[in-house]
Amino acid sequence: MYKSALVFLSLALTALAVDTRYWSQDAQSDFEKGNLKKVALRSDGRLSLSPAVKELADPSIPYLWTAVTGSNGAVYAAGGPSTNKSAIFELSRGGQSKKFAEIEGMNIFALAIDRVGRIYAGSSPDGKIYRVSAAGVAEVFYDPKAKYIWGLAFLPNGDLLAATGDKGELHRITPNGSGKVWMKLDEDHVRSLAVDAKGVVYVGTEPGGLIIKADDQGNPFVVYQSAKREVTALVAAKNGSIYAGVIGQKTSGQSQLIPMMQPPVVTAAPPPQQGAPQPRPVNVAAPIVPNMVPGGSEIIRIDADGAPMRIWTAPTDLVYALAFDASDRLLVGTGNKGNLYRIDSPSQSTLLTSLSSTQITAFAKEGARLIAVTGNIGKFFEVGSGLEAQGSFESEVFDGGSFTQWGRLHSKEIAGGGTIRFETRSGNLDRPTQMWSSWAALKDGRIASPSARFLQWRAVLSGGQQDGPMVSQVDVAYLPKNVAPRVDMVEATPANYRFPAPSSTIIPSVMTLTLPPIGKAQATTSTLTSDGSTSPALTYAKGMIGARWLAMDENGDALEFSLEIKGENEQGWKPLKDKIKDRYYSFDATAFGDGKYQVRVTASDSISNPLNQGLSARGVSAPFLIDNTAPKILDLGATPAGGRVNLRFKASDAGSVVTKAEISLNGNDWRLIDPTVRLADSKDLDFQLLVDRPGTGELTIAVRVTDEFENQSVEKVTIR
C-alpha cells in the first residue's frame, strides 16, 4: 500500500515537480496491451502461468465445429466446409488422429453418442442426421426436412433431440429413427441445445437471442430474453444452473456461422502451353471469418430457480463453446483470437491462454483431460490440469517522451512457488528491432538498459506448484532528461483592452491528492502543457495594453514566465512582471512615453525541476506602438454663410492615424463628419464642411477628434 501511495502521489504532483516519475501497470487493460506467452491474465490484473496446452493433432481441415467423447475414451470431432463429404475424426487416448467416417454434406455442426457408442452426426446445409457404426459406416438415421442441424443431445430415455434451422424446430427422435417436431418456435434457428442431469431441456435461439426451457410435452417457456442476437452455446452445471453464451447485435444480420459454411472454390487452371513454365501449386485458403461481430459477447447464468445473471462480457471475443474444468469452473472458448477464458466468479475471470488457431469451437472431456477443438485452422489441443513450466509477458512499448534515464522496477509479486525474472530493453525507435538494446536482467532491482526514449519490460515466470508465481503490479521509475521549453510566438494585444486578473500560483497552499476511479489505472504519462494558443476574452480598459505568447514544454513541465519591455531606441530591457503562470499579461501603457516598443517573454521550467536544473527560453514580439497623446485640432474656424456655417479645421497626430472626427451643435449629440478626402487614413487630415445653423442665436460648435488608440481632443468655436 505504501508503494502504491507513493506512485499516486508522484503522478499527482507531476505538474508541480517533475522529479522521478512512474510508469505503472496494474490493470487488465494495461496488460492486454502487451504480449502474453503461456501466461494467464486475470480480470483484476494478475499475471500467472497458463495451463499447459499441447497441440495433439492437425487433421488438415479448415474448421472443427463439434466434438464428443466416446465410451472408449476417444474424442470424435467434425467440421467443414467441404465440397462433397464431411469427415469425422477420431483422436485416441494416446493422441493419434485418423479419419473415422465420412457423411454427405458440407459441414457437420453437431455430434452425439448413444449408450452403445454409436455416433450421430448432423449435416448442414442439407439437414440430415446420420448414424455411424463402430466400424465407421454411416447411414441416414433421420431427415428433419430442415436446412441446418445445429445441435444433438440425448434424453435420459434414449430419445435424440435435434436443434434445427431455418424453421426454428426442435425434433425428438426415438431410437428406431422415427421422429417429429417436438417444439416449434417463432425463431429462425434453434442454435444451441443442452439437457441437464434431470433431463430438463434448454435451447437457445437466433435471431431473438432467447433461452427457452421445454416441459415434458415440448412446450416452450422463455427463461431469458437476451439483448443480443444469437445463443451460440449452452451447458448445464451439476447444481442445476444453465450457462449460455450469446453474441451479436440484433441488427447484425444472419448467423455468424452461416457465412463460414461455404466450401473453398477451386478453379482449374488451363493446361500450360508447350515450353511454358509449369504453374505453382495453389493452396486453397480456409474461409475468412468476420473479425468482429457488432455487440460482442456475454455469458448468462440461469440459476436452478430460474433467476438470470450476466456474469461475463467481452466487446470483441465471440463465445463459441462452454465447458467445466475439474473444479467445476466455467471455461469459455472464443474467437477470433483463439482465447480461452475461465470464469472465476460473476465479477472475475481469467484469460488462460490463446491458441494458435483463430476460434475455439468445442470442448470434449475425457477423464481429467480437456480437449479443445478449433477452427481456422481445425486442430485438437489438450488443456492440461497442470501449469506451463515457463511463460513470459512482454509489456507494451513505453514512450518516455524524450531521452530518459531508467530507475528501479518495482513489482508486486504473490507467493506461489517458482521464480519471476524481470528483464528490460530500450531504444530510440518506437518499436523494438535489432537496433534496440538486448534484453538485460535487473541489477539489484535497477534497470540496466541504457537511457533512451522507449522502454519495454519482460517478466519470465518459471516453475512452481499449484497456482505458481504471480505478478499483479509493475512500476517503472524513470526521469526524462529535461528539455528547454519553447516560446514560439509573442504578440501584443489591441490597446485599451485587458485580460482577466492573473491566475493564482500553481502551488496550492493545501496539498491535495486526486485518486483515479476505483478499478481504473492512474494516468501514467504526462501530457504537454497548454501552449497558450487560446486565451481568455479581453475587456475594455482605457490605457491598458497586453501581450500573449505561445509556449510549451516537451517534458510536460509547468512553466513560469517573466515579461520585459524595451523602447525602440533603448538599449536595455526593463522588467514588467515576473512569476507569471498564465500565457498572457496586461499592463498600463500610460506609464510609457509614445513610441514603438517590444516585449520579451522568458519561459522557465525551474519550478518543475530540482534546484539548478531548470532551463529557459525566450521570445520577442514584433514592434508595437504605444500612443498616449491625443491628436491636435488646428486652425479651427467657423464663418457664417447665409443660413449655414462654413466650418474648417485640421486634425494631426504624431503617433497614429486619426480615425474619426465628430461635431456637436450647442451640446447636442455628436455627429460623425468626413475629412475632405473622405477617408480617415492619415495622421494629418483636413476638414471643411457647411453646417446648417439652427435658429438665429448664438451657435457653439464643438469638435472632437480620435486616433487609433482612442485618444481624443475637443475644441470649440462660437458664432454670434
Q: What is the pLDDT of residues 436-464, one digit of tens each?
A: 999 999 999 999 999 999 999 999 999 86
Q: Which CATH superfamily is domain 486-514+521-626 in?
A: Immunoglobulins (2.60.40.10)
Average pLDDT, integer, range 368-384: 94
Place of cell 468482429: 292
E strands in 367-418: 369-387, 390-394, 398-414
Report the SS3 class of residue 119: strand
Query: pLDDT value at position 526?
Result: 43
Amino acid at 572: G
Report the SS3 class of residue 259: helix
pTM, rounded to two decimals: 0.75
pLDDT of 18 over the 90 cut: no
CATH 1.10.579.10 fits 632-719, yes or no: no
The domain spans of the chain are 19-49+390-480, 51-262+286-387, 486-514+521-626, 632-719
Query: pLDDT value at position 425?
Result: 98
Interior angle at CA 303, CA 298 and CA 307, nearest 5: 85
Q: Which residue has the higher pLDDT, 16 or 24?
A: 24
List, for residues 127-186, the tens digit of each pLDDT value. 999 999 999 999 999 999 999 999 999 999 999 999 999 999 999 999 999 999 999 999
For 603-622, b where at least 16 C-beta lie within 10 A, e where not — what string? bbbbbbbeeeebbbbebebe
Query: pLDDT value at position 13?
Result: 39
Q: How far apart are CA 57 and CA 362, in angstroms?
A: 15
Query: pLDDT value at position 518?
Result: 52
Q: How far apart are CA 426 and CA 406, in angstroms?
A: 9
Q: What is the DSSP letter of 608?
A: G
Radius of gyration of the chain (CA): 41
List, for residues 501-558, the tens digit of each pLDDT value. 876 544 443 445 555 565 455 544 444 456 777 888 999 999 999 999 999 998 888 9
CATH 3.40.50.720 fits 51-262+286-387, yes or no: no
Query: Three cell numbers at 152?
Result: 444433438
List, for residues 240-298, the tens digit of each pLDDT value. 999 999 999 887 666 666 665 555 443 334 444 444 444 333 333 333 344 456 789 99
List, for residues 37-56, the tens digit of each pLDDT value. 999 999 999 999 999 999 99
Question: What percentage of the chain reaches a pLDDT higher than 70?
Answer: 87
Confidence band (pLDDT; 50, 70, 90) for 385?
confident
CB 196 within 8 A of CB 203: no
Place of cell 526593463: 574
Q: How far apart are CA 495 and CA 99, in angstroms?
A: 90
List, for residues 298-351, the tens digit of each pLDDT value. 999 999 999 999 999 999 999 999 999 989 999 999 998 999 999 999 999 999
Closest by CA position to 59, among listed 94, 19, 91, 92: 91
Q: How far apart are CA 389 and CA 104, in angstroms?
A: 44
Q: Does the CA dihedral 575-577-579-584 come out positive or negative?
A: negative
Query: pLDDT value at position 484?
Result: 93
Find all residues with CB under 8 Å of 194, minimum gap 6, and list them: 153, 201, 202, 203, 234, 235, 236, 242
- Identical topology for domains 19-49+390-480 and 51-262+286-387: no
pLDDT of 3 over the 80 cut: no
pLDDT of 224 over the 60 cut: yes
E strands in 256-307: 297-302
Least confident of 8-22, 194-208, 425-439: 8-22
Q: Residue 353: what are its φ and ψ, rounded to 5°? A: -165, 170
Average pLDDT, integer, range 564-580: 95
Query: pLDDT value at position 264?
Result: 46
CB 311 within 8 A of CB 343: yes
Query: pLDDT value at position 464?
Result: 65
pLDDT of 589 over the 50 cut: yes
List, for residues 605-654, the tens digit of each pLDDT value. 999 888 888 999 999 999 999 999 999 999 999 999 888 999 999 999 99
Average pLDDT, integer, range 21-38: 95
E strands in 432-559: 440-441, 452-462, 470-480, 486-492, 497-498, 539-540, 544-552
Q: Which residues pair with 489 in a beta bridge?
A: 550
Confidence band (pLDDT; 50, 70, 90) for 671?
very high
pLDDT of 77 over the 50 cut: yes
Q: Tell which CATH classification among 1.20.1070, 1.10.3470, 2.20.28, 2.60.120 matches the domain 19-49+390-480.
A: 2.60.120
Query: To the nearest whole number, what is the mean pLDDT of the chain?
Result: 88
Q: How far apart are CA 92 and CA 111, in angstroms?
A: 17
Query: Three cell numbers at 466?
Result: 499449484
> Dihedral through CA 181, CA 187, CA 190, CA 194, nearest 10?
-90
Query: pLDDT value at position 293?
Result: 63
